Amino acid sequence: MGFQRARTDEQRNERRRQILGAAAAMLTEMPVAELTLTALSRRVCLAKANVLRYFESREAVLLELLEAEIADLVAAVEVEELTGPVEERVDRLAELFVSSLASRPVLCELISAEITVLERNISTETAVRHKRVVRGHLEASAGFVARQLPELGEDGAGVLMETLLLVMMAAWPASRPPQAVLAAYEADPALAATRLAYADVVRRTVEVTAFGLLARAKVVPAQEHQAR
């Protein structure tokens, strides 16, 4: 298919959506490291130079996709309403994040690469825009947590979301080892104990962090949850 330049804002926005959609589809088939600008260009039937008319780099494409994925997650969880004793709300909040993330592997893949890969080949303008968007989503997520667990307070809710975000960045790649490591686990099953289960790590992070903050605020006695 020959290149036809988008001449209206509607056409340019549609071309950007096509590129983002192709990138999202490719991330269901491969990790970020394997998604090259060349491969993306081929998927959307454009030359690399034409893709770069809409995004300054491969990383800029993926950062904008990450923003959309985070927005979708925030919109999905914000409709939930948790009730009951504080211990039950913490457990249900943990399960809500586990299930929401489990259904969004593209989001998990992108978050794990955000700092180490995606922010390395972008302009200052793109970095400022991206950080503002992410900050807004993080504040919205913390606001949701604060409404469901008012015992934490706004500061505690913010700490919980920051902690979860940091753990997500590290836990996703650790839970998806490369083929050589999988082969090592198969050769020596005892080594498999070092493999992380992503859902378990997310659940434990939410629970331990929330109960720790609540104990510090003397909302929940610490000894009640030492075994968690």
Read off the pTM: 0.86
Question: What are the backbone dihedrals phi and psi of residue 116, each rounded to the nearest 5 degrees, phi first?
Answer: -80, -25
Q: Write the pLDDT tens digit of every residue in 127-181.
A: 999 999 999 999 999 999 999 999 999 999 999 999 999 999 999 999 999 899 9
Lowest mean pLDDT among 82-91, 164-173, 210-219: 210-219
Q: Write the pLDDT tens digit of every residue in 102-134.
A: 999 999 999 999 999 999 999 999 999 999 999
Q: What is the mean pLDDT of the chain?
A: 91
- Residue 2: what pLDDT? 47
Averaged over 71-95, what is the pLDDT? 95
> Left, alpha or beta for 218 (phi > 0: left; psi -120 to 50: alpha)?
left
Distance between CA 28 and CA 99 in Å, rounded? 18
Terminal alpha carbon distance of the chain: 57
Find tokens 């900050």 and name the residue: 135
Q: Which two tokens stand for residue 17?
A: 């959506």
Q: Write the pLDDT tens digit of every residue in 11-62.
A: 888 999 999 999 999 999 999 999 999 999 999 999 999 999 999 999 999 9
Distance between CA 93 and CA 164 in Å, rounded? 12
Domain with CATH 1.10.10 in the chain: 1-55
When the candidates are 1.10.150.120, 3.60.10.10, 1.10.357.10, 2.60.40.10, the CATH number that belongs to 58-221 is 1.10.357.10
Name every residue whose Cβ is closer than 8 Å to that of residue 199 and which is 6 or more positions away in sequence: 98, 101, 102
- Angle 192-197-203 from CA coordinates, rounded to 5°: 150
Distance between CA 119 and CA 60 in Å, rounded? 8
Q: Which two tokens stand for residue 44?
A: 């959307």
Domain with CATH 1.10.357.10 in the chain: 58-221
Distance between CA 17 and CA 33 in Å, rounded? 22
Whether 122 and 60 have beta carbons less than 8 Å apart is answered as yes
Quick one: fold of 1-55?
A: Arc Repressor Mutant, subunit A (1.10.10)
DSSP classification of residue 15: H
> Residue type for 123, please?
S
Distance between CA 18 and CA 68 in Å, rounded? 14
SS3 136: helix
Distance between CA 31 and CA 128 in Å, rounded? 25
Nearest to 51 by CA among 7, 15, 11: 15
Return the number of other C-beta atoms located less than 10 Å from residue 214's C-beta. Answer: 22
DSSP classification of residue 55: -
Averaged over 69-87, what is the pLDDT? 95
pLDDT band at residue 3 under the 50/70/90 scheme: very low
pLDDT band at residue 69 under the 50/70/90 scheme: very high
